[in-house]
Amino acid sequence: MSAPDPFAGIDEELRALVRACCDRDVARLERLSGSGLAHRRFYRVHLASGEPLTLIARVDRGEPAPGVPPEPPLEATRSFLEAHGLPVPRRLGGNAARAIELIEDLGDSALADVVCDAAERRALYEEACDLVPRLQRLADPSGRVPAFTRHLDAPLFRLKATRFARSGLPAALGRAARDTERDVVFAAFDAVAEAAARAPQRLAHRDFQSKNLIVRAGAPAGRRVAMIDLQGAFLAAPEYDLVCLLRDSYVELPDSESRALAERVRAVLPDAPDAATFEQRFDLLTVTRKGKDYALFHEVASRGDDSWLRYAPATLGYLRRALARVAALDARLARLRDLLGDDACAQ
């Protein structure tokens, strides 16, 4: 017998909730393309009249995929960032008990999908990167915001290692991985975890990549980029969000542009690490972040959606090139470099 559908009846539930929260009738519901997460769906709610004409319904049901830890509710972090002037969608209503949030529709123009010339792209990326030090200057003396109690810590690095060893390593090798080879992955990720633990811990979006940055149509320059998918925010080394964006699997920036953007931000971070420390941690975090992403694309493909595999080659390339740069720091990293081989573009 198949498991019951956790989203059964969601259309009527959303219609009733919008009436209760917004005093508006729903003309139609449009399910938006997902991100490979079986437990979360997004709907664009088209309203029958009035302004705004649309809003977004975010619905969480059931448990995350195996190996994916649960995340806190969205609202505490969203409202905290909004109160501090960060560009996030407004909340229009919701039902916490039913894990539904009604939020502002910022449109479909993610930074990953914006078509523009090099100068315009650079301006948008500068605006996005400038959000990172603003996030890192925030603190929560109240102790009420879950993001400040969550850390990119050894257990999370171990989870990333588990996912890469299980799904990413066989794909990279083109065959089943041996136990000794999986041990190499765990040891290398432990080396990164140890280095990250010595770094200052600052607020990070956690998934600060181009698909989670929306370019708002009609907004003035300097206020065009807004953040979504905020609930996973945590404390991490200062370089983490920049790794997510500048080593993004969905948009490969020219290396010179990526380096210039990183340097633009490094000097104004609250902890302002020196250039050598910054670059070293940037590469170390690339190893674990891109290892997890590479594994994720293959995990999603194993569940029947292979559309994400088009991003896998670039992701593995980032990982290999970063390993080539940090292998001399630790024998554990050198062994993973040797296992995965060299990328043709390693530098």
Verify that 135 and 46 share a domain, yes or no: no
345: confidence class by pLDDT, cuts 50, 70, 90: very low
User: pTM for this one?
Assistant: 0.93
End position of a domain, from candidates 85, 104, 123 = 104
39: confidence class by pLDDT, cuts 50, 70, 90: confident
End position of a domain, from candidates 84, 104, 124 = 104
Verify that 286 and 261 share a domain, yes or no: yes
Q: Would you say residue 207 lies in a domain?
A: yes
**Residue (of 273, 263, 283, 278) closest to 329 by Cα position:** 283
CATH code at 230?
3.90.1200.10
Helices (H), the chain: 10-22, 74-83, 118-136, 154-163, 169-173, 179-197, 240-246, 255-266, 275-302, 312-326, 331-340
Q: Would you say residue 2 lies in a domain?
A: no
CATH code at 33?
3.30.200.20
Looking only at the bridges linking them, the beta strands covering 225-227 and 213-215 are antiparallel
pLDDT score of 273 more than 90 = yes
Q: Would you say residue 1 lies in a domain?
A: no
Can you tell me which residue has the tokens 């470099």? 337
Report the share of the chain in percent with pLDDT over 70. 95
Verify that 119 and 171 share a domain, yes or no: yes
Number of domains in the chain: 2
Verify that 37 and 178 share a domain, yes or no: no
Q: Would you say residue 5 lies in a domain?
A: no
21: confidence class by pLDDT, cuts 50, 70, 90: very high
Verify that 43 and 115 share a domain, yes or no: no
Verify that 290 and 154 share a domain, yes or no: yes
Domain containing residue 86: 10-104
Cα distance between residue 184 and residue 340, in whole Å: 10
Residue 346: the pLDDT is 38
Q: Would you say residue 4 lies in a domain?
A: no
Q: Would you say residue 320 lies in a domain?
A: yes
- Which residue type sits at 330? D
Verify that 150 and 223 share a domain, yes or no: yes
Verify that 291 and 327 share a domain, yes or no: yes
Mean pLDDT value across residues 2-12: 86
Verify that 117 and 94 share a domain, yes or no: no
Verify that 217 and 245 share a domain, yes or no: yes
With beta carbons less than 8 A apart as the criterion, state whether 291 and 168 touch: yes
Verify that 97 and 208 share a domain, yes or no: no
Q: Would you say residue 30 lies in a domain?
A: yes
Verify that 83 and 154 share a domain, yes or no: no
Mean pLDDT value across residues 128-157: 97
pLDDT score of 67 more than 80 = no
How far is CA 232 from each of CA 21, 149, 337, 340, rounded to the nearest angstrom?
26, 11, 30, 30
Residue 37: the pLDDT is 53
End position of a domain, from candidates 74, 104, 134 = 104
Q: Over the chain, what is the mean pLDDT?
A: 94
Mean pLDDT value across residues 290-311: 95
Least confident of 1-15, 141-155, 227-241, 256-270: 1-15
40: confidence class by pLDDT, cuts 50, 70, 90: confident
Structure tokens at 245: 């964006």
Q: Would you say residue 326 lies in a domain?
A: yes
